[in-house]
Amino acid sequence: MGSRREVVHKVNFSDPRSFASSFKSDLKETFFPDDPFRQFKNQPPLGRAKKAVQYFFPVFEWLPKYNFRLFQYDLLSGITISSLAIPQGISYAKLASLPPIIGLYSSFVPPLIYAVFGSSKDLAVGTVAAASLLLSSIIGGVAPPKDDPTLYLHLMFTATFFTGVFQTALGIFRLGILVEFLSHSTITGFIGGTATIICLQQLKGLFGLKHFTSKTDVISVIHAIFKNRSEWRWESTVIGVVFLMFLLLTKSLRNKRPDLFWVSAMAPMVTVVVGCLFAYFAHGEHGIQIVGHLSKGLNPLSIKDLRFDSKYLSATLSAGIITGILALSEGIAIGRSFAVMRNDQIDGNKEMIAFGLMNVVGSFTSCYLTTGPFSKTAVNNNAGCKTAMSNIVMSLCMMLTLLFLAPLFSYTPLVALSAIIMSAMLGLIEYDKAYRYLKVDKFDFCICMTAFLGVAFISMDIGLLMSTGLSIVRALLYMARPATSKLGIIPGSAMYRDIEQYPSASGTQGILILQLGSPIYFANSSYIRERISRWIEDERGNLNSKSGELEHLILDIGGVTSIDMTGIGMLTEVHLSMRKKGIKMIIVNPRREVLEKLMLSSFIDAIGQESVFLSIEAAVEACDFNFNESEQNDWSRH
């Protein structure tokens, strides 16, 4: 320690930044944390224009460099994902209570839009089960599809339109922050709960039932199955179980032999084809229900079908917004996790705009909600896709299907679709993740289970909201009760660390060193005051047994990232109360934002610049010096 005494390092008390500059930097951190315009710096005007086009149309980033070798890969992966897109499209459209052809339409137009605006190389566009069911449960609540299928269809387009507008707006106004409020635990629980109720719903197809409930909760579904047990058909069940076993087997094969991924990718298509043949030869007997009429032709325009009547507006709006957030959080998370594997980066706000535009255009062309589903994206990546061209290939395959092959799929048995949905859903219930939450963080486990049970037993939107609410309450609790710790010096070093974490660390006589963390503001300043006074009482209790008195309180606020007026008021109060007790208060290593406010509010003037140090070491040294001095004074007076 002694060797450093000659050089005194001071806290930087230079004038605070102007309001404009600190406000600008705050705004930038809030809305442009990824600094998207960095690439435009130091560029000539022409280069800037080119960069701007590439920024708004990511397709121009890869298209100029595109070649035949890359196309070979994209062709293969595009065909592979379209073989998945056909059965999934039909299945999820059934799940959304929509005509099956809508599912095929939805894999034609949106992938084209995404290929132009999207920045992920792996993402394969398609419909997803959870959002399909969620849309259907909200819209079906105000306009049951059985009563008026056309109205229901049009409202679904409208909800998709709202989803698109909302997603685009989030992207343009850089409000990705909203999506961040869905925590991993909420999403895990929500997807698990949704998968559970979707699986249960498929029992309808598996048992060949004709009547069922439109509700989604576990109890209604089980009740409906037992109520309609007279309609059970064993033929349907046998076929369904065989298909399911086949699909699950190919999945487990993929897990063991990743190079055989194409077996499981093709399996749903095989199931559909075999099912069609079977149904064709069974002539609709033995209770095997089929999808029914599928007409040839490309997507008809649906822009005139959007309905904005006030009667349904709140349902379509809320369905649009909730599914929009959900679809974004799934799509962006998936795009990002594949980008990490490529050592690549995707821009969340750009992705939002791409998703938004594809849903807006989709709603004009008879498509319903699409996003980047995990299964399709994983298959796309496995099949070796290189660019978004694979989405274009898939789109062209779908076009050919719609133009020529669609009627063939009208023989698809419902039970085959149920088997496909069930096998997809069973993989989405992540027991292991929930167990990991239970092991590491009980509160995250509660958040996850709230979403799971809420979705399974109440309804999908309520479950999602409850779980998000609980996450926010937990975050507020985090804020309201930040950890404080007493520091001591680790013997043989100059490091001050938490004495509970490092029991070898020891305190210094007459000095209490506390570390405060996280922002200090209204929600936690009462707590911090109470906690400081408790530390002081404890310290005094300890000292009473020994000789000596507490003379200095050192607050290490290096971890305090910001402070508000209530927090400054609290520090002032602590300072006054310490002065009454004869204890000198010292501040160590304030960050810039905090120091600026402490200076502006004249707190620093109140405690004196000489009470602010850059390191605990320097502060302790100064205290020791004072201490010795006062002892010497005592001595000289005798």
The residues in 492-551 that bind a second copy, with binding defined as CB under 8 A, are 492-495, 497-498, 500-502, 517-519, 521-527, 530-531, 533-534, 537
**Contact residue for a second copy among 1, 5, 21, 23 (CB under 8 A):** 23
Do 367 and 299 form a contact (C-beta atoms < 8 A)?
A: yes
Shortest Cβ 534–a second copy spacing (Å): 5
- Give the count of beta carbons closer than 10 Å to the beta carbon of residue 297: 10
Take residue 300 and report the two structure tokens written for it: 């008809």
**420 vs 461: CA distance, rounded Å:** 25
**Residue 61 or 235 with smaller CB distance to a second copy:** 61
Take residue 238 and report the two structure tokens written for it: 């046998």
Shortest Cβ 43–a second copy spacing (Å): 14
**Residue 203 or 588 with smaller CB distance to a second copy:** 588
Shortest Cβ 604–a second copy spacing (Å): 12
- Give the count of beta carbons closer than 10 Å to the beta carbon of residue 539: 19
**535 vs 529: CA distance, rounded Å:** 10
CB neighbour burial string for 493-508, b if at least 16 within 10 angstroms, e if fewer: eeebbebeebeebebb
Take residue 241 and report the two structure tokens written for it: 């179980």
Shortest Cβ 247–a second copy spacing (Å): 29
**Residue 220 or 601 with smaller CB distance to a second copy:** 601
Shortest Cβ 567–a second copy spacing (Å): 9
Residues 24 to 63 in contact with a second copy, rule: CB under 8 A: 26, 29-30, 33-35, 38
Shortest Cβ 448–a second copy spacing (Å): 9
**Residue 183 or 418 with smaller CB distance to a second copy:** 183
What H or E segment, with its residue span, contains residue 538?
Answer: helix 522-545
**165 vs 321: CA distance, rounded Å:** 9
**Residue 301 or 440 with smaller CB distance to a second copy:** 440
Shortest Cβ 527–a second copy spacing (Å): 5
**Residue 233 or 575 with smaller CB distance to a second copy:** 575
Residues 433 to 462 in contact with a second copy, rule: CB under 8 A: 436-437, 439-444
**How is residue 459 annotated by DSSP?**
-
**How is residue 509 annotated by DSSP?**
T
**How is residue 300 annotated by DSSP?**
P
Site map (CB under 8 A) of a second copy, residues 384-423, x = contact: ----------------------------------------
**376 vs 231: CA distance, rounded Å:** 35
In one-letter notation, the amino acid at residue 62 is: W
Q: Does 479 bind a second copy (CB under 8 A)?
A: yes
**Phi-psi sector, 9: left (phi>0), alpha (psi -120 to 50), beta:** beta
**Contact residue for a second copy among 54, 220, 318, 485 (CB under 8 A):** 485
* Residue in 221, 160, 217 with CA at minimum distance from that of residue 194: 217
Do 390 and 78 form a contact (C-beta atoms < 8 A)?
A: yes
Take residue 380 and report the two structure tokens written for it: 């796309």
Residues 173 to 202 in contact with a second copy, rule: CB under 8 A: 176-177, 180-186
Residues 123 to 182 in contact with a second copy, rule: CB under 8 A: 176-177, 180-182
- 3-state SS, residue 513: strand
**Residue 60 or 527 with smaller CB distance to a second copy:** 527
**Contact residue for a second copy among 15, 18, 19, 230 (CB under 8 A):** 19
Shortest Cβ 139–a second copy spacing (Å): 29
**Residue 510 or 517 with smaller CB distance to a second copy:** 517
Q: What are phi and psi of 343, to 5 degrees?
A: 60, 45
**Contact residue for a second copy among 252, 345, 628, 632 (CB under 8 A):** 345
- Helices first, then strands: H and E counts in the chain: 25, 6
Residues 554 to 593 in contact with a second copy, rule: CB under 8 A: 558-562, 564-566, 568-569, 573, 576-577, 580-581, 589, 591-593
- Classify the C-alpha dihedral 118-123-129-130 as positive or negative: negative
**118 vs 328: CA distance, rounded Å:** 13
How many residues form the binding site for a second copy (CB under 8 A)?
Answer: 100
Q: Does 481 bind a second copy (CB under 8 A)?
A: yes
**Residue 177 or 219 with smaller CB distance to a second copy:** 177
Q: Does 1 bind a second copy (CB under 8 A)?
A: no
Residues 297 to 336 in contact with a second copy, rule: CB under 8 A: 336
**Residue 370 or 525 with smaller CB distance to a second copy:** 525
